[in-house]
């Protein structure tokens, strides 16, 4: 990893007292992997939205900069073989623990006790948006 940038963070603190069970949380993670064929650097952006009983509880975002040798070729080769999720799955498995830690730190700064759950990397990789840029 070469850098980390914290994005927006907002929490509906009035809703915290109404929470009966974390089982009622709806966690949505929007992930975008931005890469270019000209460099071995990519940006992996995460937007995390947590709702409780259809009300917005927490929103948080991060951007991680990664340097991966032959990154664009690695992803493009997988895409041409229609196995794009394998390369993204491996990158996701590497970065997710950093996302969990950054999320926990941001929540702790706001005196919120919350961590993200473990994920299934294969399913998660299918949802990651790949954004290829020529710049």
Specify the CATH number for the domain of residue 118.
3.10.420
Q: Provide the terminal-to-terminal Cα distance of the chain, rounded to the nearest Å.
A: 21
Domain residue limits at 46 = 3-132
pLDDT at 78 over 70: no
The per-residue DSSP string of 51-104 comes to: EETTEEEEEEEEEEEEE-TTHHHHHHHHHHTT-HHHHHHHHHHHHHHHHHHHHH
Total structural domains in the chain?
1
pTM: 0.82
User: Under 8 Å CB-to-CB from 24, ≥6 apart: which residues?
Assistant: 52, 53
- Residue 86 is encoded by which pair of tokens? 């394998």
User: What is the Cα–Cα distance from 79 to 75, expressed in whole angstroms?
Assistant: 6
Whether 114 contacts 27, CB under 8 Å? no
- Residue 79: per-residue pLDDT: 58
- Residue 23: per-residue pLDDT: 82
User: What is the Cα–Cα distance from 45 to 26, expressed in whole angstroms?
Assistant: 20
In the block, tokens 């929490």 appear at 11
pLDDT at 15 over 60: yes
- Residue 45: per-residue pLDDT: 93
């Amino acid at each position: 990893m070469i850098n980390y940038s914290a994005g927006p963070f907002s929490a509906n603190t009035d809703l915290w007292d109404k929470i009966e069970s974390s089982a009622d949380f709806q966690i949505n993670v929007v992930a975008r992997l931005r890469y270019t064929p000209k460099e071995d650097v990519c940006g992996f952006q995460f937007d995390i939205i947590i709702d409780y009983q259809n009300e917005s509880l927490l929103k948080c975002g991060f951007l991680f900069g990664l340097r991966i040798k032959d990154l664009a070729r690695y992803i493009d080769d997988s895409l041409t073989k229609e196995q794009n999720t394998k390369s993204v799955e491996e990158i996701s498995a590497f970065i997710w623990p950093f996302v969990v830690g950054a999320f926990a730190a941001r929540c702790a700064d706001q005196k919120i006790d919350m961590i993200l759950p473990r994920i299934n990397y294969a399913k998660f990789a299918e949802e990651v948006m790949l954004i290829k840029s020529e710049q």
